[in-house]
Structure 1
Amino acid sequence: MKLTIAVWINVLLVVTMDGYQVKPRDFQQMVSSMEQQYEDIQEEFQKEFRTWQQTGEKTVRLQQILDGWKFTGQDRREYLEDFPHERQTAMCVLCRSVVSQIMQMRSNGTGRADLFATVYELCTTLQIQESDVCFGVIDINIDIVLHIFDERPNLGADVVCGVILQSSSCVFDAPEFTDWSVNVDPNGKPVTESKHFPNARSENDIKIVQITDMHYDPKYEAGYNANCNKPTCCRNDQGIPEDPEDGAGYWGDLRYCDSSWASIEDAIDHIVEEHPDAAYIYQTGDIVDHGVWETSFGHNIRTMNRFHNKLLEAFPDKPVYNTIGNHEPHPLNVFAPSTVSRQDLSVSWLYEYLADVWGHWLPRSTRTSILQGGFYTALVRPGLRVVVLNNQDCYNMNWWIMWDPGYLATQLQWLHDVLLLAERNGEKVHLLAHIPYSSYGSIYFVCQREFRRIVERFHDTISAQFNGHTHKDEINVFYSRENPQHAINVAWNGGSLTSSHNNLNYVVYYVDPETYQVTDFESYIFNLTDANRFPDRRPEWYKVYSFADAFGMHNLSPAEVDTVVKRFGTPAGRSELRKYWEFTMKMGDLTLAAGCDDDCLLNVLCRAVLSELNDDVKCDELRETFFD
């Protein structure tokens, strides 16, 4: 990785030097030179790789290339979409180099055992994860990947890496993967202004509680190692550290750990006690922990069972609308189409389980679509419909996108048709999905494009969106594709009931009973550092802020949120933007101590307005005022 990153760093240093500007032609020459170096490195790697496979010995040059690509501890902790451009480029070169050789080995008849050994060797050599994590993740994913490679012999490494990494530094040309679309009814209300409504928060508003990203870890145990260099720590099989400061806290830990049962149970108990007047509960997914190398059908079901039983105990008569997270299947992230005939690769076991459990709160009519793909719709009350999506089929880490990209249109077309019927019936809609369609690169960019078309068409029907996944208490504004000066919808993120540098939280929304728009929301947290000082005492939950009060808003209509976001993007609004960042990070002590410089703040701001990959119009507008 360092070999390719160095090239980009040199260019960036030249481009940003004071008093020096690169002419377009010069820059294009530099880019062309870098692209040639990438091609040279990839070609050299493939040559050395083939020698390794033929002789069983790594050449000195192959080891040098691999050493240059080794992952750091920080690389393991970051999402792909958060990597800077130069690192994404390096990842693309690495991905294409390795995947092309693995695919070639398979096409030459190499069996599972030899492919497993090769991938395991690369995973450990590149330090992508610890050896046991590499072994477990490969073991539970390899059969799916090999099935896809076997079924799609013409699939190219450029497509595989382009879908997974999907950035401007890893483009591919494959119309089958990019040219499909949803049939959108053309008779919608045109967008002529930013969407607004007159009503402010009132005592007549409907109260809705959102909980998300619990990541309950049955192995979590106080005192065990919280600095383990694995996807999740604080587990009772990871040892007790010599330094007590490295031990997990009783109520959770701000380092790389998931949630203890004590904190999950206390959060739900607190919601019951503090918000008995809540009309509905929105649960937006990710019950299962980050032990991604050792998931199993039994483990996932036991974990989900304990959580669902707690919900049933807490809300036996209160409607709970549940959503699937990307951690619920085994292996995680992988949602096979219903057309996959091999039972050992199917995800039908999960849909059958959830149809049974969710059925306590849902009408019988929802069962068919849940069994089909984990999505459903229900009439919450006259005039308000909830639509719950399983958009993990569009998650860029779902291997099945490479098998049949066309199946991604099925659920989006269903969404369109449900919205069209709701429009005709005069209903407003709340959309629930685990992954935000706007979360940088996480959702496959074609799905982002088609979803945004649907939102634009039904901007007058969709009152709000509710997501999870990012673990951040953040917002995203959707703008018209045709008239990007107009804000037409807002997606709200509930944060998480797990910690990783940030405190646990849940969100309470106030919803206008006429428009079903969100007029305000409040975020509730407890300080983990303080709570762990007194493990025998319940945590002290408190309301950390009201969004409307914190930023002087009449309500939370798209027009009002757009106004605030624009204010964040000015020097005069910098202090408010910093306050917003602190709220998104849920006031975590470690995060606040690390701080957020201007580049970091601009990144936070752009996250709030990015709805489609590579459509940077709104971000560019804010960048201009940000540095004014």
Structure 2
Amino acid sequence: MADVVRRSVPCGVCKLGVSLLHREVQQGSSFYEIRKKFVSLCVSFKIQTEPVCTGFFDVFGPEVLPALNVTKLGTSDICRMVLGESCDGTKTHIENWSIDLPEKRRPGQPVFKILQISDPHLDPDYVAGSPANCEEPLCCREYSTPNSSKPTIPAGRWGTYGKCDAPSILLENMLEHIVLEHPDIDYVIWTGDLPPHDIWNQTKESNLAIIKHTVEQMLAYFPNTAVFPAVGNHESVPAGRPINRWMPRRIRSSCSSLVRGNQRVKS
């Protein structure tokens, strides 16, 4: 999704949009007044379709507008955070990270067989045969808008590389294969990002439904194996929200059942 944003939003348009939002917030414009101008700008520059532009604002607006009212970051800083250093071509201290890596495993230390599952992005609305190269950021859905300038590519049964997320049949088959071919897994690291990428159209309820389904799925396939889940940036609504008021309480009860307290990792 980040790549889609970077490809479709030029640096200049980003600055124009951020400046517009900031000015409207400072002037005390209403949410719906700002919404109308944002959607008009988004559609006029052909960033996305009107439903996607509207959905983005409705989902992210309540978070972004108050932040713009207090942030000390300038327009260029914000756009570099969203689009990367290619916007303005100058580096920013915000993006510099330093990570200390542990030493390599020493001879004689125990070896574990670990399964890591990351970013399944289950799409319950995936439909085989639907447009895989649609106008929206996420395709392969019955209601995806066919591309107006290219022949339609139909979505495959097992998934389609590109602007599509995973169908249920793909994830089910993957887990069946893992359990069959690797019955000796010591533990599972499950690093989140369960919902699909339609972040302009998500609600707490829709994401919780995905989380509940996938938790039950993992319990069914790994009933006697320790599973250590981590929350990804797509579990929250809006996606990527760093501090989420609803997520810890609601998800903790679902995910805690995956960590088997009576099991011990082999040593």
The answer to whether structure 1 residue 103 and structure 2 residue 10 are counterparts is no
Corresponding residue for residue 301 of structure 1: 208
Stretches of structure 1 that go unaligned for 5 or more consecutive residues are: 1-74, 183-187, 337-346, 365-378, 383-512, 514-628
Structure whose alpha-carbon radius of gyration is higher: 1
Q: Residue 284 of structure 1 is aligned with which of 191, 202, 208?
A: 191
Q: Residue 129 of structure 1 is aligned with which of 15, 38, 48?
A: 48
- Supply the AA of the counterpart residue of 2:113: K
Aligned-pair CA distance for 1:137: 0.8
Question: Retained in 2: the 8 A contact 1:77–1:231?
Answer: no
Q: 1:323 to 1:227 in 2, by over 3 A?
A: same
Q: CA offsets, 1:591-625, max 9 Å, x none?
A: xxxxxxxxxxxxxxxxxxxxxxxxxxxxxxxxxxx
Question: Retained in 1: the 8 A contact 2:138–2:165?
Answer: yes
Instruction: Tell me, in whole angstroms, the C-alpha distance in 2 between the residues paired with 1:199 and 1:155.
Output: 49
Question: Retained in 2: the 8 A contact 1:158–1:171?
Answer: no
Corresponding residue for residue 177 of structure 2: 270
Question: Retained in 2: the 8 A contact 1:223–1:240?
Answer: no
The answer to whether structure 1 residue 258 and structure 2 residue 155 are counterparts is no
- Supply the AA of the counterpart residue of 1:381: V
Q: CA offsets, 1:304-348, max 9 Å, x none?
A: 111110101111221011121221111211122xxxxxxxxxx23
Q: CA offsets, 1:86-126, max 9 Å, x none?
A: x99x61x4333331232122212222111111111111111
TM-score (norm 1): 0.37
Pairing 1:7-406 to 2, within 5 Å after superposition: 78=4, 80=6, 91=11, 93-150=12-69, 152=70, 154-167=72-85, 169=88, 171=90, 195-197=103-105, 199=107, 205-238=111-144, 246-336=153-243, 347-362=244-259, 381=265
TM-score (norm 2): 0.83
Question: Retained in 2: the 8 A contact 1:76–1:128?
Answer: no
Instruction: Tell me, in whole angstroms, the C-alpha distance in 2 between the residues paired with 1:334 and 1:153.
Output: 16
Question: Retained in 2: the 8 A contact 1:279–1:318?
Answer: yes
Aligned-pair CA distance for 1:281: 0.9
Aligned-pair CA distance for 1:178: 9.1
Identity of aligned pairs, percent? 26
Pairing 1:217-616 to 2, within 5 Å after superposition: 217-238=123-144, 246-336=153-243, 347-362=244-259, 381=265
Secondary structure of the structure 1 residue equivalent to 2:85: coil
Instruction: Tell me, in whole angstroms, the C-alpha distance in 2 between the residues paired with 1:363 and 1:278.
Output: 15
Aligned-pair CA distance for 1:353: 2.2
User: Quick check: which one's helix share is greater?
Assistant: 1
Stretches of structure 2 that go unaligned for 5 or more consecutive residues are: none
Instruction: Tell me, in whole angstroms, the C-alpha distance in 2 between the residues paired with 1:351 and 1:219.
Output: 26
Q: CA offsets, 1:291-315, max 9 Å, x none?
A: 1221011111111111110101111
Instruction: Tell me, in whole angstroms, the C-alpha distance in 2 between the residues paired with 1:266 and 1:197.
Output: 33
Relative contact order (C-alpha < 8 Å, sep 6+): which is higher? 2
Q: 1:153 to 1:144 in 2, by over 3 A?
A: same
Q: 1:293 to 1:276 in 2, by over 3 A?
A: same
Instruction: Tell me, in whole angstroms, the C-alpha distance in 2 between the residues paired with 1:295 and 1:213.
Output: 17
Aligned-pair CA distance for 1:140: 0.9
User: Quick check: which one's strand share is greater?
Assistant: 1
Instruction: Tell me, in whole angstroms, the C-alpha distance in 1 between the residues paired with 2:66 and 2:190.
Output: 33
Instruction: Tell me, in whole angstroms, the C-alpha distance in 1 between the residues paired with 2:31 and 2:145.
Output: 33
- Supply the AA of the counterpart residue of 2:82: I
Q: 1:224 to 1:353 in 2, by over 3 A?
A: same
How well do the aligned residues superpose, as a CA RMSD in angstroms?
A: 3.7
